[in-house]
Amino acid sequence: MLNWLESRTGFVSMAKEFLTEDVPGGASYWYVFGSATLFAMILQITTGIFLTFFYAPSAATAWESTRAIYLNPWTHTLLSIHYWGSSAMIALVFLHMLQVLIWGAYKSPRELQWIVGVLLFLVTLVLGLTGYLLPWDMDAYFASQVSLNIAGLPPGGEILQLIAQGGPVMGTNTINRFFGLHVWLMPAALVLLVGAHLAIFRHNGSAGPVVDDPRKLKPGRFWPDQMFMDGAASFFVFVVILLLASFAPPFLDQKADPTNAAFQPYPAWYFLFLFGLLNFVPWLFSQIPGLSSQANAPWVEMLAAIVVPTIGLLIVLLLPWLDRSTTRSFASRGKILWSTFLTIVAIIGLSIYAQVGIQAKEAAGPPSQSEDQILSATPPPETTAASGGASDASAAGAKVFAQNCTSCHGTNGQGQPGVAPPLAGNPFVTGDPKAVINVVENGLHGQTVMGQTFGAPMPAWKGTLSKSDLAAVITYIRGSLGSNKASAVKVSDIK
Partner 1 sequence: MSIDFPGSTSEEGGRTILGNWASGLAPKSTFPGECTLSKQVAAAGSPQGAERKIHSAYDDPGTPEEISRRSFMANATLAIGGIVGLGLVIPIVGSLLPEGASSKGTWSPLTADELKSLQEATSKPVKLEFQLKSKDSYLPEQSNGEYVWGIKTNKQTFDSARTDLPTSGELPFSDGTYDVINMNFVILSPICPHLGCRPVWNDSATRFQCPCHGSQFAFSGEHVAGPAPRGMDPLPLREQSGLAQIMWIRYESGVPNRVIISYQS
In this structure, the dihedral spanned by the alpha carbons of residues 382, 386, 392 and 393, taken in order and rounded to 10 degrees, is -60
Give the C-alpha distances (Å, rounded to integers) separating 112 from 64, 93, 281.
44, 17, 33
Q: Which of 37, 65, 161, 165 binds partner 1 (CB under 8 A)?
A: 65
Single residue of 28, 50, 265, 303 touching partner 1 by CB under 8 A: 50
Minimum distance from CB of 23 to partner 1 (Å)? 7
- Is residue 55 within 8 A of residue 65, CB to CB? The reply is yes
Among 220, 265, 357, 389, indicate the residue that binds partner 1 (CB under 8 A): 220
**24: which strand partners?**
219
**In this chain, which stretch among 77-85, 137-145, 249-257, 360-368 interacts with partner 1, using CB under 8 A?**
77-85
The answer for residues whose C-beta is within 8 angstroms of residue 300's C-beta and 6 or more apart is 281, 282, 285, 294
7 forms part of the interface with partner 1 (CB under 8 A): yes
Residue of 98, 122, 198, 227 that binds partner 1 (CB under 8 A): 227
The distance of closest approach from Cβ of residue 163 to partner 1 in the complex, given in angstroms and rounded to an integer, is 30
Angle ∠(417,419,423) on CA atoms, nearest 5: 70
Mark 238-267 with x for binding to partner 1 (rule: CB under 8 A) and - for no binding.
x---x-------------------------
Question: Least separation, in Å, of the C-beta of 59 and partner 1?
Answer: 14
Residue 110 is classified by DSSP as -
CA–CA distance, 440 with 35 (Å, rounded to integer): 61
- φ/ψ of 410, rounded to 5, equals 85, 155
Distance CA 163, CA 165 (A): 5
Comparison of 218 and 492: residue with beta carbon closer to partner 1: 218
Question: Nearest approach, Cβ of 380 to partner 1 (angstroms)?
Answer: 14
Backbone angles phi, psi at 419, to 5 degrees: -110, -60
Q: Please list, residue by residue across 55-64, b when 16 or more beta carbons sit within 10 angstroms of its beta carbon and e when fewer do.
A: bebebeebbe
Farthest CA pair distance, the chain: 92
Q: Which residues contact 495 (CB under 8 A, 6 or more apart)?
A: 437, 441
Minimum CB separation from partner 1 for residue 226, in Å?
A: 9
Asked if 77 interacts with partner 1 (CB under 8 A), we say yes
Least separation in angstroms between CB 75 and partner 1 = 5
Which region, judged by CB under 8 A, interacts with partner 1, from 21-29, 132-140, 186-194, 461-469?
A: 21-29
Residues in the chain: 495
Site for partner 1 in 152-211 (CB under 8 A): 203-205
* Distance of alpha carbon 481 from alpha carbon 447, whole angstroms: 22
Among 192, 232, 288, 352, binds partner 1 (CB under 8 A): 232
Q: Name, in order, each residue with C-beta under 8 angstroms of 359's C-beta and a sequence gap of 6 or more.
A: none
Compute how many other C-beta atoms are within 10 angstroms of the C-beta atom of residue 39. Answer: 22
Angstrom distance (rounded) from CA 443 to CA 19: 75
Residue of 366, 342, 325, 382 whose CA lies nearest to 135: 382
Tell me which of 195, 224, 365, 443 binds partner 1, using CB under 8 A: 224
Binder to partner 1 among 214, 265, 309, 312 (CB under 8 A)? 214
Distance CA 34, CA 40 (A): 10
Residue 47 touching partner 1 (CB under 8 A): yes
Q: Is the Cβ–Cβ distance between 235 and 109 less than 8 Å? A: no
Q: Is 21 in the site for partner 1 (CB under 8 A)?
A: yes
How is 380-423 classified by DSSP, letter by letter?
Answer: HHHIIIIIS---HHHHHHHHHHHHHTHHHH-TTS--BTTTB---
Give the total of residues touching partner 1 (CB under 8 A). Answer: 52
Site for partner 1 (CB under 8 A): which residue of 234, 394, 430, 484?
234
Binding mask 260-299 for partner 1 (x = CB under 8 A): ----------------------------------------
Does the protein bind partner 1 through residue 225 (CB under 8 A)? Answer: yes
DSSP secondary structure letter of residue 455: S
Give the angle subtended at the CA of 279 by the CAs of 275 and 280, to the nearest 5°: 110
Q: Which of 29, 30, 184, 228 binds partner 1 (CB under 8 A)?
A: 228
Residue of the chain from 28, 58, 68, 172 that contacts partner 1 (CB under 8 A): 68
What mask, x for binding partner 1 by CB under 8 A, covers residues 103 to 142? ------x---------------------------------
Judged by CB under 8 A, the residue of 28, 176, 221, 439 near partner 1 is 221
- 219: contact with partner 1 by CB under 8 A: yes
Q: Which of 9, 29, 30, 74 binds partner 1 (CB under 8 A)?
A: 74
The nearer residue to partner 1, 212 or 289, going by C-beta atoms, is: 212
Where on the chain is the footprint of partner 1 (CB under 8 A)?
Answer: 1-3, 6-7, 12, 16-17, 20-24, 43, 46-47, 50, 53-54, 61, 64-65, 67-68, 72-75, 77-78, 81, 109, 203-205, 214-215, 218-221, 223-225, 227-228, 231-232, 234-235, 238, 242
